[in-house]
Amino acid sequence: MSAKDKLLLAARDCLLTKGYAHTTVRDLVAASGANQASINYHFGSKEQLLTRALRDLNTEWGELLFAVLEEPVAEARSGDQEALWGRIIDSIQANRSLWFVNFESVASARQDEEIRGMIAGGQELARASLARAFAGLGPDSDPGEVQAAGSHYLALLVGLASQWLTDPERAPTAEQFAAANLGSGHRG
């Protein structure tokens, strides 16, 4: 494995265990076995290395989420959102570190245009997938309806994930979440 690949793997591991803000050059050097100069040589800076690893992790997060959303399109159309929310909650629990990294990237976006663009692109894809999974809206649907429904479900997803990451003992179950959402008139 090349020094560059070792650094990317180390950055990935550090992001998952320490987070963006708490990863130091020393951590990256220790985890990769590379020297400090190799960070600048291959990536230009610690921040650029972490941003590259963050992009890779956000892509992985998106692939996991989209896989969960693609599975149950028929369930969503039949009104059974509970199973879909249940799979999302299971994914959050199984990939807590990845979800934390995704949330942390939002804070990093304040200072980094590349991260902000990466997140915006991911949100666009997520809105389309959520609109398809929960509201049955596909590529031939009215773009405004897709945007509105996708934004609604993205807000619900972010709120649900936040609760499961910070207070899982009191976070709503899939049954509670689906019932409350359906009860408020937001049927898919």
One-letter amino acid identity for 35?
N
Asked, for residue 154, whether it belongs to a domain, the answer is: yes
Per-residue pLDDT band at 77 (split at 50, 70, 90):
very low
Q: What is the pTM of this model?
A: 0.85
CA 101 – CA 98 distance, rounded (Å):
5
CATH of the domain at 137: 1.10.357
CA triplet 157, 55, 84: central angle to 5 degrees?
25
Range of the domain at 137: 54-183
CA 160 – CA 152 distance, rounded (Å):
12
Asked, for residue 46, whether it belongs to a domain, the answer is: no
Asked, for residue 90, whether it belongs to a domain, the answer is: yes
Asked, for residue 30, whether it belongs to a domain, the answer is: no
Asked, for residue 98, whether it belongs to a domain, the answer is: yes
Q: Please, where are the H alpha helices in the chain?
A: 3-17, 25-32, 36-43, 46-70, 73-77, 81-94, 96-108, 113-135, 143-166, 174-183
Query: Residue 182 pLDDT more than 70?
Result: no
